[in-house]
Amino acid sequence: MADIVTLEVKDHIGFVTFNRPEKYNALSHEMIRKIIETGEKVMEDKSIRVVVLSGNGKGFCAGLDMENFQKMADGDDKLELFARAYNTPANKAQQVGWVWKQVPVPVIAALHGVAFGGGLQIALGADIRLAAPGTRFSVMEIKWGLIPDMSITQTLCDLVRLDVAKELTFTGRIVEAKEAAELGLITRMVDDPLAEATEMAKLIASKNPDAIARDKQLLESAWRAGAAKGMLIEESLQREIIATPNQIEAVMAEFEKRDPKFTDRF
């Protein structure tokens, strides 16, 4: 049986794939655990400069596997889902989406088919979302009498207006890729999201990995920090980058009209 979540590293790109196609990559308890473990592996692997997140089969992720719901709601499993690790504000259910915010390199989600419920919330944890035409999205938890609780309050708020978030949450309405792009749920609609994500990842992986990691840190930490704190964060992170070997290599490669040869991020 194939692993339900796989990580393949190629040319400094970490390809993370959900591999439960017979279930539209629906989230079982085991799959939630594997997604978190994979995100943590990416954090530890300093050779990875960018991540491409995708789903095998006909859809990205259909959300919670309702056949597993009763088991997940029972005693020990429920307590485990609500447990928190020492190094994150998220419990295990929230970490399945939030872990991609914690990953120190850019994460590009290549979306197709469906991204429902928890699947949407995982996609919202990515930095960039590319979706095929006809991909369907839904904050679907209300269908099951639940609230969305996989870090949506900390991800959706930067993408859509509050009234839009409320409408999608209250109704569970399904929106397709074109409307999702107009609302801000996705970055853009593309014919082949995995191919497009891979090309984008190659471009990002060709840049100074120290600067790319701090670009993500800068935007995540300073976006809503206010002018004074935001500009202090800019200065602090720039001080970490200037005159480091990879930064010097970027300059030399530009002057010498050659491809840079970067070392792994520090």
List pLDDT tens digits, range 2-16.
799 999 999 999 999
263 domain-assigned: no
Beta bridge partners of 130: 110, 188
Please spell the DSSP secondary structure of 113-146, one letter per residue.
SEEETHHHHHHHTSSEEEE-TT-EEE-GGGGGT-
**Domain boundary, last residue among 163, 188, 204:** 204
Reported as a pLDDT band with limits 50, 70 and 90, residue 69 is low
Q: Which residues contact 60 (CB under 8 A, 6 or more apart)?
A: 18, 25, 54, 109, 110, 111, 112, 113, 114, 115, 119, 123, 135
* pLDDT of res. 82: 77
Q: Is the pLDDT of residue 113 over 80?
A: yes
65 domain-assigned: yes
Q: Is the pLDDT of residue 44 over 70?
A: yes
Regarding whether 11 and 138 lie in a shared domain, the answer is yes
Regarding whether 212 and 129 lie in a shared domain, the answer is no
Regarding whether 81 and 195 lie in a shared domain, the answer is yes
Regarding whether 19 and 127 lie in a shared domain, the answer is yes
Assigned token pair, 80: 């485990």
Reported as a pLDDT band with limits 50, 70 and 90, residue 56 is very high
Nearest to 214 by CA among 106, 135, 99: 106
Assigned token pair, 191: 């014919």
Give this prediction's pTM: 0.94
List pLDDT tens digits, range 197-255.
999 999 999 999 999 999 999 999 999 899 999 999 999 999 999 999 999 999 999 99
For helices 209-222 and 227-241, the axis angle rounded to 10 degrees is 170
152 domain-assigned: yes
Regarding whether 185 and 96 lie in a shared domain, the answer is yes
Beta bridge partners of 91: 84
* pLDDT of res. 75: 54
Q: Is the pLDDT of residue 72 over 60?
A: no
264 domain-assigned: no
215 domain-assigned: yes
* Cα-trace Rg, the chain: 19
Q: Is the pLDDT of residue 102 over 70?
A: yes
Regarding whether 214 and 130 lie in a shared domain, the answer is no
Regarding whether 187 and 71 lie in a shared domain, the answer is yes
CATH code, domain carrying 14: 3.90.226.10
261 domain-assigned: no
Assigned token pair, 237: 């992170």
Percent of the chain at pLDDT exceeding 90: 86
22 domain-assigned: yes
Regarding whether 153 and 109 lie in a shared domain, the answer is yes
Q: Which domain holds residue 247?
A: 208-255
Cα(266)–Cα(263) distance, integer angstroms: 9
Question: Looking up tokens 């409320």, which residue turns up?
Answer: 166
Regarding whether 230 and 143 lie in a shared domain, the answer is no
Regarding whether 246 and 164 lie in a shared domain, the answer is no
Regarding whether 113 and 226 lie in a shared domain, the answer is no
The domain total for the chain is: 2
Q: What angle do CA 185, 186, 192 make, to 5 degrees?
A: 150
Question: Looking up tokens 């949506």, which residue turns up?
Answer: 152
Regarding whether 136 and 10 lie in a shared domain, the answer is yes
* pLDDT of res. 74: 58
**Domain boundary, last residue among 161, 177, 204:** 204
Q: Is the pLDDT of residue 87 over 90?
A: no
